[in-house]
A and B are shown apart, each in its own frame.
Chain A
């Protein structure tokens, strides 16, 4: 049964990838990207990689198609047919790269093989000792937020840098903070009463669910990254239906920009706090006498930092994109 599901999902995945190349029209491509994300995530689910599937569902199928849609809205829908000579270099280069990648996979151990490098290095230690050292059921969270917290700090910094880069690129010179939306009165010709009411009922529950994912990451799939994305997508939903000026009055762009830095700082200060008491960077044992409790507190704080940064960076990017779009309209 599992084999059948995997085969069908992989065939659909390849078909979607092929269609993405063939289809003209950027809106259609965006829809197919979303389907591709859903398929990837389903595939991760059947492979038991629940946390990865969670992230892929929230980012690959959710937020990134939304940002692509906003981009399409700002630049126009058509994709011009290629003119001129055949891109010979690309046609040669792509099959060669693909062949190299396929040759590379031949060396990989089969899925689930016990002597795969990933299963013989540090993973057995994490799996065996996570229970007594950290004491939370979800080993993924203990690896992400405790054993490998330094790597995670790097990832959060990457996300923060992405937000800063978007602000730098989309801000026009001479006009400070022009990536922030301007407060113009909203003129919807066609108010979406039904959608607004239904979404107004749903948004609090989406936010609540985001908080559940944030603080339940130790016990089930989830954590700061996924929770941040869900939180931001609730804000985006509000913005889509009520207009950019309204959502900016609820969630101030300046505050969000500050918060994206605050999240990283929470993470970093947690590490420095340990150094001040003479321990290694990001050693959580300074928080409590009992090492397991200390780990709990540390993971909670660090995940909170991750969640704040991810949510606010995605909101910042949404504001910057949507502002471009609304400026292009007027």
Chain B
């Protein structure tokens, strides 16, 4: 197990005051909060910051950590000495249970005791809901799909220790989900207490980037290459859609970047989204005699100044 330098994680000096630590934590927590920062790794970083703050903001834990950690450097192989924590008393934080092995090896036992005291209840209560994110392909939302997901679930063993267990769930993703939307799996949250029903599991949907379509809400955007004469004169061109190819009418005089809407061909939500073709004018290269001749003719015959608006 690697030694974690909680001071380094929060970017504070070893002699930082409580206020310094609080400020550093708040700043990093805002930056890496998984509801704000969508980047990969933000969630792991946020947990690490939370763990560092949990230790350093608590004078008892900080004292214990300082004593234990004075001979260690970040990343160094760490082995807690036996009975090292005699003389320290910790009070755990409810709702935690997702801390690193390093944290558990130092403060784990103390946290578990607290759980012992909390399990005796005569109330019949519904289990807690769980919230997680799931990354799917756009195709899954367009057609519906069955996907197996793995969740990391903290659980208590007989000794009251917190264990993180992998839980596999096979989920039917409904057709028509959109990014940012949540889906619910009934009864897949925490078990209830005193015979109460289990909580639910909510999964927030995120899409993997798609090669062809870009997603805006329930609308899809597709870059559609057209020839200059198709854009200038108008044409019927073949374009792909999630439901199969269609013929799209390009109006005469269309400019590069013009967006043409195909109603109802977006994500099949209720009501369904639209599909937009974004025209991309592509010029044939003047690499052969015929093409060069046509370009030369255009240069000669057309009174066209593309830089007229620049006034030069």
Do A and B pair up? The answer is: no
